[in-house]
Homo-oligomer: A and B are copies of this chain.
Amino acid sequence: MQKMISLTSDFGLKDPYVAEMKAAIFSICPSATIIDVTHGVEKFDFRTGAFMLASAAPYFPKGTVHMAVVDPGVGTPRRSIIVATDQALFVGPDNGLLILAAESQGINQMRQIESRRLMLPHVSSTFHGRDIFAPAAAHLANGVSLEEFGPQITEVVKPQFTKVTHTKDALTGEVLHVDDFGNIITNMHVRDVEAFRDDIIQVEVAIAAPLQMKLSTTYGDVKPSQPLALIGSQGYLEIALNQGDAATRFGAKLGDKITISRS
- In A13-38, the 8 Å CB interface with B consists of 13-20, 22-24, 26-27, 30, 33, 35-38
Chain A's interface size range is: 35 or more
B residues in contact with A20, CB < 8 Å = 55-56, 59, 233
Contact A19 B40 (CB under 8 A): no
B residues in contact with A243, CB < 8 Å = 43-44, 72
Q: How far is the CA of A64 from the CA of B22 in the complex (A)?
A: 13
Contact A217 B38 (CB under 8 A): no
B residues in contact with A61, CB < 8 Å = 23, 26-27, 30
Q: How far is the CA of A23 from the CA of B230 in the complex (A)?
A: 24
A180 at the interface (CB under 8 A from B): yes
Given contacts A30-B61, A232-B126, contact A35 B55 (CB under 8 A): no
* Interface residues in chain A, defined as those with a beta carbon under 8 Å from any beta carbon in chain B: 2, 4, 6, 11-20, 22-24, 26-27, 30, 33, 35-41, 43-44, 52-53, 55-56, 59-61, 64, 72-76, 124-127, 130-131, 177, 179-181, 217-221, 224, 230, 232-233, 242-243
